[in-house]
Amino acid sequence: MGARSISDRRKTVVKGAGALALALFCVLAIALMQRAGWLDGLNVGLMERAGAARDSAMGQHVTPWMRSASAVGGTAGRLILLAFSLGTLFWVGRRKSAYWLAAMMAGGTALNLILKQIFAAPRPDLLPHLDVVHTYSFPSGHAAGNMMFFGALAMLIARPAGYGVAAAIIALIGISRVWLGVHWPSDVTAGWIEGLGWLAFCRIWLPTRRG
Q: What is the signed CA dihedral for 125, 129, 135, 136, rounded to 10 degrees?
A: -30
> What whole-number distance in Å separates Cα of residue 124 and Cα of residue 47?
10
The model's pLDDT over 80-89, given as tens digits with 9 standing for 90+, comes to 999 999 999 9
One-letter amino acid of 48: E
Assigned architecture for domain 2-205: Up-down Bundle (1.20)
Side chain identity at 149, as an amino acid letter? F
How far apart (Å, rounded) are the C-alpha atoms in residues 34 and 159? Answer: 37
pLDDT per residue as tens digits for the range 127-177: 999 999 989 999 999 999 999 999 999 999 989 999 999 999 999 999 999
For the chain, the domains span 2-205
Is residue 106 within 8 Å of 86, Cβ to Cβ? no
